[in-house]
């Protein structure tokens, strides 16, 4: 294992050598992939030498296009028999890259990275929600025992919310903590009125689902003649069969899995329909629970599939919901709020922290309970002025507290702290960061 001394790092930095950052990530999709992409984009703009170890994927191609040195790391999402080989492969990558800082994202990458490095270079571990909360039984016990043990090999543990840090502390993870909230690009995610009208983007996965769009309702389902009033700034949804553009639309963007709680949302939806006839619910995303969710979906539910860009769905929505069972701090609610949309989230960890001040009374529900969720969705769908007010406040909140440029700079400042340098980022780098796009 090759490592650099603090003195040699300072010498290299004085000589103008850019710090070498190695990101290690598994998974390669969803919110974690988006966070890694934004960090790589910003760090390349600030002059860091960035390498990413990850499985072959769309993420790998995206990062190469951003100028990152991407190393193939064939790791599975969950620990298994291949773990030892994955650790050995990652150790070889570390020896080849000789990073000044290693930044491991999510549980699997954190497991392999800390076993490969064992504290011999500055190591940042970012759980993106704790693994011991995602599983149960003996698996949860083992995951918690590992996190307690491996904390000694993390120079810093970065949490995306204060609640995530508190959960770690209460679970007995003794670490040096750093809280950096997630951020999104408010120039990419914006209200529809911020730019000239344009046709919503449609992706191949959406078109692939068009033939089987509305579950149980069917393409010939009756359309309500007097829909509940919707916000005037709402754009037309992506063109799909049987989706009435004038009908009230609730959108849920996220991986179709137990964590995101779409099953709870589907159980709540019949109650919403009784009070808001003709309303439509769109589940945007794919995942392991898709077939099961389709089987239990009531009338008026649209499975839109995975999309590369959810902007048009946010702009088309009257309301965005993410009924997660646990979260670090999900990106979808932040993206929706950046688009001026009110969001309904569950009272879990970073979800409540992502809401603007004053929104909890209107937009926060207990996890796993369909009835309170249905009540809040119904109340907001029937109150367009309240939705519009909440949406404006949400946009301002993201600009102030969840701009991805602020998050990226906080991570860069942490790296500089670990490298023993308090030097400011050059002005030209700050100007480069203004080109950040999601």
Its pTM stands at 0.81
The answer to whether residues 332 and 392 belong to one domain is: yes
Residue 399 CA, chain-centre distance (Å), reads 17
Q: Which domain holds residue 99?
A: 6-183+403-433
Give residue 248's pLDDT. Answer: 94
* Separation of alpha carbons 137 and 142, rounded Å: 9
Q: Which residues partner with 346 through β-bridges?
A: 365
Give residue 136's pLDDT. Answer: 82
Selection from 272, 297, 259 nearest residue 133 by Cα: 259
Give residue 241's pLDDT. Answer: 53
The answer to whether residues 387 and 424 belong to one domain is: no
The answer to whether residues 234 and 365 belong to one domain is: yes
Give me the number of domains the chain comprises: 2
**What averages of pLDDT result for each successive group of 10 residues across the chain (438 residues)?**
49 69 94 95 95 96 97 89 95 98 96 96 95 87 94 97 95 96 96 54 34 34 35 58 79 95 98 95 95 92 92 96 94 97 94 93 97 98 97 97 96 95 39 35
The answer to whether residues 119 and 240 belong to one domain is: no
Say if 438 falls within a structural domain. no
- Give the sheet arrangement for strand 49-54, strand by strand: 69-72, 49-54, 20-25, 101-105, 123-126, 156-159, 177-179
The answer to whether residues 281 and 139 belong to one domain is: no
The answer to whether residues 149 and 279 belong to one domain is: no
What is the CATH classification number for the domain harbouring 325? 3.40.50.2000
Give residue 320's pLDDT. Answer: 98
The answer to whether residues 397 and 419 belong to one domain is: no
Give residue 234's pLDDT. Answer: 64
Say if 107 falls within a structural domain. yes
Residue 13 CA, chain-centre distance (Å), reads 33
Give residue 227's pLDDT. Answer: 36
8 Å CB contact between 168 and 130: yes
Count of CB atoms within 10 A of residue 364's CB?
A: 18
8 Å CB contact between 225 and 245: no
Q: What are phi and psi of 72, to 5 degrees?
A: -70, 120
Task: Please list the alpha-helical segments (H only) found in 20-122.
Answer: 30-45, 58-65, 83-97, 106-117
């Amino acid at each position: 294992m090759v490592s650099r001394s603090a003195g040699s790092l300072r010498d290299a930095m004085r000589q103008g050598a850019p710090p070498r950052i190695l990101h290690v990530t598994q998974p390669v999709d969803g919110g974690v992939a988006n966070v890694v992409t934004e960090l790589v984009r910003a760090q390349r703009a600030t002059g860091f030498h960035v390498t990413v170890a990850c499985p072959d994927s769309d993420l790998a191609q995206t990062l190469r296009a951003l100028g990152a040195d991407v190393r193939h790391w064939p790791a599975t999402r969950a620990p298994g028999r291949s773990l030892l080989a994955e650790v050995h492969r990652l150790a070889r990558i570390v020896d080849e890259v000789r990073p000044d800082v290693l930044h491991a994202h999510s549980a699997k990458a954190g497991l392999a990275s800390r076993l490969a490095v064992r504290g011999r270079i500055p190591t940042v571990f970012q759980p993106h929600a704790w693994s011991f909360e995602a599983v149960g039984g003996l698996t949860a016990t083992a995951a918690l025992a590992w996190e307690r043990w491996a904390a000694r090999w993390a120079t810093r543990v970065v949490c995306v919310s204060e609640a995530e840090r508190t959960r770690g502390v209460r679970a007995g993870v003794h670490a040096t903590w750093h809280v950096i909230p997630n951020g999104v690009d408010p120039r990419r995610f914006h209200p529809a009125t911020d730019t000239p009208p344009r046709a919503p983007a449609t992706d191949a996965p959406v078109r692939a689902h068009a033939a089987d769009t509305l579950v149980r309702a069917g393409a010939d389902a009756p359309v309500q003649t007097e829909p509940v009033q919707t916000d005037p700034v709402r754009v037309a949804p992506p063109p799909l069969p049987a989706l009435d553009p004038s009908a009230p639309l609730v959108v849920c963007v996220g991986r179709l899995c137990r964590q995101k709680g779409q099953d709870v949302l589907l159980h709540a939806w019949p109650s919403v329909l009784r009070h808001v006839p003709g309303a439509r619910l769109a589940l945007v995303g794919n995942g392991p629970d898709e077939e099961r969710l389709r089987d239990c979906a009531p009338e008026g539910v649209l499975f839109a599939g995975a999309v590369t860009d959810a902007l048009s769905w946010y702009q088309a929505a009257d309301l965005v919901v993410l009924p997660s069972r646990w979260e670090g701090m999900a990106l979808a609610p932040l993206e929706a709020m950046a688009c001026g949309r009110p969001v309904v989230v569950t009272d879990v960890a970073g979800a409540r922290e992502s809401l603007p001040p004053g929104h909890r009374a209107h937009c926060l529900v207990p996890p796993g309970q369909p009835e309170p969720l249905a009540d809040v969705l119904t109340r907001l769908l029937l109150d367009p002025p309240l939705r519009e007010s909440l949406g404006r406040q949400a946009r301002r909140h993201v600009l102030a507290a969840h701009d991805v440029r602020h998050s990226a700079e906080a991570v860069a400042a942490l790296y500089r702290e670990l490298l023993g340098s308090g030097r400011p980022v050059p002005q030209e780098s700050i100007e480069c960061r203004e080109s950040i796009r999601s």
